[in-house]
Amino acid sequence: MRLLYTLLWYLLMPFLFVHLWWLGARAPAYRGRWRERLALGYSQRLDGCVWVHAVSVGETLAAAPMIEALLQRYPQTPLLVTTTTPTGSERVSALFGDRVHHVYWPWDTPGVISRFWRNFNPQLVILLETELWPNLIAAAGKREVPVVLVNGRLSARSHRRYARLRGLLQPMLESLQALAVQTAVEAERFVDLGAAASRVTVTGNVKFDISLDDNLRGRARQLREQFGERPVWIAASTHPGEDEVVLAAHARLRRHCPGALLILVPRHQERFEQVAELVARQGLGMVRRSLDQTPGADIAVYLADTMGELLMLFGAADIAFVGGSLVPVGGHNLLEPALWSKPIITGPVLHNFTLIADLLDEADAHRVVRNEAELAELLQQLLGETALRQQMGQRAAEVVQAHRGALVKLLAILDRHWPSSH
């Protein structure tokens, strides 16, 4: 079945290049460094590194505490971090600078993976969450290089979909040396698909171990001071179909709270211009963060059209709406606003973050809305009831604090598989 998978990759490659070119129309960085996708033209070589693969900004942030700990724990071992997106690449550079090596993830064909291995010779591969690639894992197995899945997650929907590909998934999962997964339910799903039960460990979610440093707190405080005393809410990681709902809800809210300001953060940078045009059509006054503009009293929307700043932006708001939840995406990270002690609002579509949503619900730190009317009504209530807003935010922060500790368990697993020569 892996042969069919590989043939499909070769058939899709021309279309993948076309897709990158199309993405580059709005985000020019997608049109650069294409040779790295094919494991060609590297300016650096490594030998005996540990390879960490994260996809984009979210996975990079999730991996950040682990990478930081590994840099301190094994200072002599080169760390190679790959991402698939330019925004992920930018985040790696911002977080770690030259302390790690970064290139784009190589496309999962045997030839590409072989070239990648010859150049970097990784001795341990660490994959994040759901990044399971058959040819990559087969190449590691052929070279007797351990592969570890960390912060593994597998929703019920993904489990059903992958079950139909058991012939492809089972050999791959059987060859993994360790799976550090978020919950016992997800452990059962991975075992059902073919992972060895003895190699699966429930560590919890390493995203709970993220922290706020003084620099981040200071930047959030400075931004909030620019906004003044007005009520501020953030709509984070929004997708097409959500921006319209958010803006309509904000227009309703401003009838009751004329000074309310919305920090609008589209999920993908290639949509920044599109969302700016949408705000303009709604007749709402807007400034853009990329232009370093300060919103005056007449401004209704602060468009956060920069990358890698979402965690800081949560700190400048009173209430957080997290997107990807009013459309069939599955939600985004709910822990970042919780870390800032913010009350959290989402839509009902949260299959990628079921556990975290359930924990927040049990703590009464999270509310679900289904349309613009419900969103506007809830925002008005929370902005009008300071005690309720603060109580929800405090409970959200307590959820994060209560579930820390995944990183310690994860490091213990990685210790057992770390290259002995380093």
What integer pLDDT is reported at residue 422 of this predicted model? 44
Which tokens hold the place of 66?
């682990």
Domain with CATH 3.40.50.2000 in the chain: 214-402
The residues facing 286 across adjacent strands are: 301
Domain with CATH 3.40.50.11720 in the chain: 2-204+405-417
User: What's the pLDDT tens digit per position in 25-48?
Assistant: 888 889 999 999 999 989 888 988
pTM of the model as a whole: 0.81
pLDDT band at residue 130 using 50, 70 and 90 as cut-offs: confident
398 is catalytic: no
What integer pLDDT is reported at residue 48 of this predicted model? 87
Long-range contacts of 229-232 (CB under 8 A, 24+ apart): 230/259, 230/260, 230/261, 230/297, 231/257, 231/259, 231/260, 231/261, 231/318, 231/383, 232/260, 232/261, 232/262, 232/263, 232/316, 232/317, 232/318
Query: Domain 2-204+405-417, CATH 3.40.50.11720 — does that match?
Result: yes
Q: In terms of Cα–Cα distance, which of 323, 288, 312 is closest to 302?
A: 288
Q: What is the C-alpha to C-alpha distance for residues 395 and 392, in angstroms, rounded to an integer?
A: 5
Q: What is the C-alpha to C-alpha distance for residues 94 and 400, in angstroms, rounded to an integer?
A: 25
Query: Domain 214-402, CATH 3.40.50.2000 — does that match?
Result: yes
CA distances from 44 to 31, 102, 159, 339, 354 (A): 21, 10, 38, 38, 41
User: What's the pLDDT tens digit per position in 164-192?
Assistant: 888 888 999 999 999 999 989 999 999 99
pLDDT band at residue 270 using 50, 70 and 90 as cut-offs: confident
Query: What would the mean pLDDT of 136-148 be, rounded to a whole number?
Result: 96
Average pLDDT of the chain to the nearest whole number: 93
For residue 421, pLDDT over 80 is answered with no
Of 36, 59, 90, 131, catalytic: 59
CA distances from 278 to 22, 233, 273, 303, 373 (A): 21, 19, 9, 11, 19
User: What's the pLDDT tens digit per position in 278-290?
Assistant: 999 999 999 999 9
